[in-house]
Copies of this chain bind each other. A is one copy, B any other.
Amino acid sequence: MSNSGNRQPTIIDIAKAAGVSKSTVARALSGSPHIGEASRERVLTAVRALGYERNHLAHSLRAGRTGMIGLVIPDIANPFWAEVARGAQDAAAANGSSLLIFSSDWDAAREASHLRALRQARVDGAIVNPVADNVDGLGRFGLPVVLIGSSAERFPELSSVGSDIAQGVALGLDHLASLGHFRPALLLGSPNRLARVRFLRVVHDHCLAHDIDPATLMIEEGEYTVESGKAATLRLLEREGAAVRCIFAANDLMALGALLAVREAGLTCPGEVSILGFDGIPAGAFSDPGLTTIEKPARSIGLEGIKLLAEAIDGNLDHRRVLLECTLTMRGSLARTEKDNRSARLVAGGRN
C-alpha cells in the first residue's frame, strides 16, 4: 500500500524489503567497509529484486556536484561541431559524466540563455565556443569553463583548446612546396576576419623562409562558402597572364568551389591546377577528385576540452591554453608540378 503505483523504488523501499535501516542500505550501496556481510547480501538481493537505481538528482543535491557538463557550440548540425561534440561525448562517458548540449546559432542572446540554463541545472562546468564579444557573460558564469575554437583567443584569461592554425597553414605550405608549388594562389576570407590575418602572417613567414616576395602572391576573397569560392577562383583564372597552378583555400567549402570553377574553366584538377583545402569536412571525401586538405583535429578538441575541464573541476585550476596539431589528409586534388615556380622569386610586380 505504501509502495503503490510503480514509481521507482528508493533506498527506503530497499530498507523495508531487506529489514534494515536506510543508513545500512546506503552503506551497502556505497561499498562502505562498516557493514556486516549478512546485511550487505540482503540489501543487494533486495536491490536486484526491486530493480533499484540511485536517484541521481538527490545524490547530486546532497553531493554538490551533478556529473553533468554543458557544451555550448554554434550548431550541432554543422559537421565540424558535431565532430567536436562527439569527442566531448566520448571523453565525458569515459569519466562517467553526461553532456548537456546546446546550439547558440552564433547568437549572443541565445548563448547567454543557454549559459543560464546550465547554471540552473548546476552542471559541474561547461565547454563553450564563445560568440559574445564581451567577456562578461563568461566571466560571470561562475563555474569552471573551457573555451574551444579559435575565437577563444579573445579571452586569454580563460583556459581553452583550439587547433593550431599557424601550424596547419605552415604544414600546407610546406607540403605544397614539396610538390614544387612555391607560390600558391590564396583564397581567403574577408579582410575583417581574424582568421585571415593569422593565415596571412604564416604565409608571410613562409615566403620569407623561401626567398619569395609575399607581395607577388595572388589573393582572392570569399565568404567561406562554395559559391563564393567558385566565383573567387573564376576571377583568379581570368586574371591576365596568371598561370594558376595551385590554389590554397582557407576553408574546404571554398576549395570545393574552386574545384567546380576549375572544371568549369575547362581545366583539370589536379592535372593543371592543384587545390588544397582547410578544415577536413566530410564532403571533401566525396568530391572528384577527393579534396586534399589540412584537417582540424575536431574530435580531439572536444576530447581535450573535457580533460581540461575535468581538471578545472577537480580544483586543479591551472589556467592553460592547449593547441592541437592540424594534420594533412591526402586525397586526390594535389599533383607535383614540373615547373618550379620558385624561380619567379626574383621577378617583381605580381598583382596584389
Contact across chains for B120 and A56 when beta carbons are under 8 A apart: yes
Q: In this complex, what residue of B is CB-closest to A87?
A: B77
Q: Which residues of A in the span 44-91 have a Cβ within 8 Å of any Cβ on B? A: 53-58, 60-61, 66, 68, 75-79, 82-83, 85-86, 89-90
Contact across chains for A120 and B60 when beta carbons are under 8 A apart: no
Report if A117 contacts B (CB, 8 A). yes
Q: In this complex, what residue of B is CB-closest to A82?
A: B82
Report if A303 contacts B (CB, 8 A). no
CA–CA, A79 and B86, complex, Å: 12
* B-side contacts of A117, CB under 8 Å: 98
CA–CA, A77 and B82, complex, Å: 5
- Given known A-B contacts A77-B85, A79-B82, A226-B286, A61 and B57 have beta carbons under 8 A apart: yes
CA–CA, A79 and B282, complex, Å: 9
* B-side contacts of A263, CB under 8 Å: 288
Summarize A's interface: helix, strand, loop or mixed: helix
Report if A116 contacts B (CB, 8 A). yes
CA–CA, A299 and B75, complex, Å: 13
CA–CA, A147 and B56, complex, Å: 24
Report if A171 contacts B (CB, 8 A). no
Report if A341 contacts B (CB, 8 A). no
Q: Which residues of A in the span 256-305 have a Cβ within 8 Å of any Cβ on B? A: 256, 259-260, 263, 282-283, 285-288, 299
Report if A122 contacts B (CB, 8 A). yes
Report if A248 contacts B (CB, 8 A). no
- In the assembled complex, the CB of A86 is this many whole angstroms from the nearest CB of chain B, namely 4
Contact across chains for A99 and B98 when beta carbons are under 8 A apart: no
Chain A, residues 94-112, CB within 8 Å of chain B (1/0): the string is 0000111111000000000
CA–CA, A121 and B96, complex, Å: 12
Name the one of B53, B68, B75, B288 contacting A86, with C-beta atoms under 8 angstroms. B75
Copies in the complex: 2
Q: In this complex, what residue of B is CB-closest to A143?
A: B8
Contact across chains for A98 and B100 when beta carbons are under 8 A apart: yes
Report if A119 contacts B (CB, 8 A). yes
CA–CA, A98 and B116, complex, Å: 12
Contact across chains for A288 and B288 when beta carbons are under 8 A apart: yes
Name the one of B60, B61, B260 contacting A288, with C-beta atoms under 8 angstroms. B260
Q: In this complex, what residue of B is CB-closest to A71?
A: B101
* B-side contacts of A283, CB under 8 Å: 282-283, 285-286
CA–CA, A231 and B197, complex, Å: 44
Among A75, A120, A260, max chain B CB count under 10 A is at: A120
A interface residue numbers (CB < 8 A to B): 6, 8, 53-58, 60-61, 66, 68, 75-79, 82-83, 85-86, 89-90, 93, 98-103, 116-117, 119-122, 142, 226, 253, 256, 259-260, 263, 282-283, 285-288, 299
What are 30 sample pairs from A and B whose C-beta atoms fall under 8 A apart?
A: A6-B142, A8-B119, A53-B119, A53-B120, A56-B121, A57-B60, A57-B61, A57-B121, A61-B61, A68-B100, A76-B85, A76-B89, A77-B79, A77-B86, A79-B82, A79-B282, A82-B82, A85-B101, A89-B101, A89-B102, A90-B103, A98-B100, A98-B117, A99-B100, A101-B101, A226-B286, A253-B286, A256-B286, A282-B282, A286-B287
For the complex with contacts A54-B120, A77-B85, A263-B288, 14 further pairs of A-B residues with Cβ separation under 8 Å are A8-B142, A53-B119, A56-B120, A56-B122, A57-B61, A75-B86, A76-B82, A77-B86, A253-B286, A256-B286, A283-B283, A286-B286, A287-B287, A288-B288
